[in-house]
Amino acid sequence: MAQLPSPNQVNLLKDIFTRFDLDSDGSLTQLELAALFRSVGLKPGDEIEAVLAKMDANGNGSIEFEELVNAILPDFDEEVFVNQDQLMRVFQLFDKDGDGSITPAELAGQMAKMGLPLTYRELNDLMKEIDTNGDGIISFHEFTAILGMPVSEFLGLKIS
């Protein structure tokens, strides 16, 4: 039998839900849900529509808070919330000047400190892979996207 979610788990999820309910209508659209998943280091990818359909109990095309709770809790633990904090701490190790982005020099410097020095070519290839918007720096969103996993895998949903 599944354990009931703790009030703390529900409150954490409610806080996150509210932050991503951009139009404050009490539900998450596909885009809002994708943003929520990305914020905790998950990659929504192409399966977001199938994930939305599995979570959308009333079939209205969006996810209300109750549906999110029923889909994620109680089989969900607080690791995802800790995960975001841990990702931020790792990101900050690379973001030496604290400006919210990682430059190629910061990336190369931290990799060298970790005993993994990069050649110029490796650095350029890595930047091309991570810097998806091509602005020459790595944002927290880009950093978490490269480290994340597909949402369906994280939630244990079988998408056919």
Distances (CA, A) of 55 to 16, 72, 107, 115: 17, 9, 38, 43
Task: Name the residue among 103, 81, 80 with its Cα closest to residue 91.
Answer: 103
**Mean of pLDDT values over 85-100:** 85
Domain boundaries, the chain: 7-77+149-155, 80-147
Query: What is the dotted CATH code of the domain comprising 80-147?
Result: 1.10.238.10
Question: What 3-state class would DSSP assign to 149?
Answer: strand
pLDDT per position as a tens digit, 52-75? 888 888 999 999 988 888 777 645
Q: What is the pTM of this model?
A: 0.46
Task: Kindly state the tokens that stand for 42.
Answer: 């998950």
Q: Please give the radius of gyration of the chain, using alpha carbons only, rounded to the nearest integer.
A: 18
At residue 158, the pLDDT reads 53
- Is pLDDT at 105 greater than 90 in this prediction? yes
Topology (CATH) of 7-77+149-155: Recoverin; domain 1 (1.10.238)
pLDDT averaged over the chain? Answer: 78
**Fold: same for 7-77+149-155 and 80-147:** yes
